[in-house]
Amino acid sequence: MTIEPKSQIMIFPKIGKFIILFVALAFIVIGIRAYQLYQYVFQENIKTNYILYISENTTFKQISDSLHINDVLITEKAFEWIAKKKNYKTAIKPGRYLFEKGKNTNEVVNMLRAGIQEPIDVTFNNVRFKEDLAGKISKYIQADSASILNLFSDKKKIDDFGFNVENFRVMFIPNTYEFYWTTSADEFAKRMKTEYDNFWTDTRKTKAKVLNLSPNEVIILASIVQSEILKTDELKRVAGLYINRLKYSIPLQADPTIKYAVGDYSIKRVLKKHLEIDSPYNTYKYGGLPPGPIMFPEISAIDAVLNYETHSYLYMCAKEDFSGYHNFAKTLSQHNRNASKYQAALDKNKIWK
């Protein structure tokens, strides 16, 4: 059987129409998919600001689950697709990452792949003991308190930093510092040494030299000065008093050093039994400065020592009104009168220890 020419003319146009229709539909499907993928890559995909912590050995599923549970992503499929295309599942880096509202998926995955962490402000102040410091710092960075505390007993590392076990604490100057969450204990210590070196400018070193004190000794004295005061406007005056005592080789007789030696800062009344403790931190028994700081003094206290108030006071005693201020005296007899007033106030309020 043969197809007549007329029939041939009718069949091929139909086939041509199907091809054209198929191609058109294919282009439409491809266009829709291309637009979808474009949105996956470049459209905003973060609902709200969110901090994601990624530890060592964290899996991609754990990351995805965390983002899902906290309702962070607008389109989770977009994150999954981009992460797969960029091989993020094999390039996970630990850290603290900010998923910022308005960011697209491509930006987020690039951030995670590159390990671009969001830094964190680490603040520590009002710290007395190294245990307190370790506890505070470990709340900010990945290093735990035990690893930070171990720094203070590692003689080799302490020696490498140029300190000894007793004065190593002077290296940690309270302030606000920017760290990454993944900071280790060793990295924290190295940063503190850098900050210590930066703090001691030529100007500060010159002022310390005029006092005939080393930078470490200035900080040790500042720790005593800060421990003595409740009112910051007395910092420079108290600093001047202790500098006077050092100048005339008079024992500091600082009650806070006794409390430190005893290990009890709750003592309200320093008694004779406390003064008999045999400790290099007992400034009633031993002259000069103790071997190390009795707390981590703040910059304000350190600068108060370097810029002390010039006067002739040699004695101080808490005021009997319990205001937190002190009575200052130039002579022992005047000081004894002030001390009697304070002791009478303690007796009146039944404060015996």
DSSP notation for 34-101: HHHHHHHHHSB-B-S-EEEEE-TT--HHHHHHHHHHTT-BS-HHHHHHHHHHTTGGG----EEEEE-T
Same domain, 329 and 245: yes
Same domain, 105 and 141: no
Find the domain containing 179 and state its range: 120-199
Q: Is residue 42 part of a domain?
A: no
Q: Is residue 100 part of a domain?
A: yes
Question: Which pLDDT does position 1 carry in this prediction?
Answer: 47
Q: Is residue 26 part of a domain?
A: no
Among residues 305, 181, 300, 325, the alpha carbon closest in space to that of 240 is found at 305
- pLDDT by residue for the chain (353 residues), tens only, comes to 455 555 555 555 656 665 655 555 555 555 444 445 545 555 888 999 999 999 999 999 999 999 999 999 998 999 999 999 999 999 999 999 999 998 999 999 999 999 999 999 999 998 999 999 999 999 999 999 999 999 999 999 999 999 999 999 999 999 999 999 999 999 999 999 999 999 999 999 999 999 999 999 999 999 999 999 989 999 999 999 999 999 999 999 999 999 999 988 888 778 888 888 999 999 999 999 999 999 999 999 999 999 999 999 999 998 888 888 999 999 999 999 998 898 888 888 777 65
Question: Which pLDDT does position 118 carry in this prediction?
Answer: 95
Of 151, 182, 199, which residue is a domain's last?
199
DSSP notation for 204-217: HHHHHHHTT--HHH
Same domain, 207 and 297: yes
Of 114, 149, 164, which residue is a domain's last?
114
Of 199, 217, 249, which residue is a domain's last?
199
Same domain, 213 and 146: no
Could you tell me the CATH number of the domain that includes residue 82? 3.30.1490
Same domain, 307 and 243: yes
Same domain, 136 and 94: no
Same domain, 130 and 193: yes
Q: Determine the 3-state secondary structure of 317 from DSSP.
A: strand
Q: Is residue 25 part of a domain?
A: no
DSSP notation for 97-139: EEE-TT-BHHHHHHHHHHT-PPPEEEEE-SB-SHHHHHHHHTT
Query: pTM here?
Result: 0.84
Q: Is residue 86 part of a domain?
A: yes
Those residues with Cβ within 8 angstroms of residue 102's Cβ, 6 or more apart along the chain or in another chain? 44, 46
Same domain, 215 and 151: no
Q: Determine the 3-state secondary structure of 326 from DSSP.
A: strand
Total domains in the chain come to 3
Distances (CA, A) of 177 to 131, 163, 194, 283: 19, 22, 12, 33
Same domain, 81 and 176: no
Question: Taking the CB of residue 96, how many other CB atoms lie within 10 A of it?
Answer: 19
Q: Is residue 77 part of a domain?
A: yes
Q: Is residue 174 part of a domain?
A: yes
Same domain, 60 and 167: no
Same domain, 136 and 182: yes
Same domain, 290 and 343: yes
Q: Is residue 244 part of a domain?
A: yes
Q: Are strands 175-179 and 315-318 parallel, antiparallel or unpaired?
A: unpaired
CA 344, CA 220: separation in Å to the nearest integer? 32
Q: What is the CA radius of gyration of the chain?
A: 35
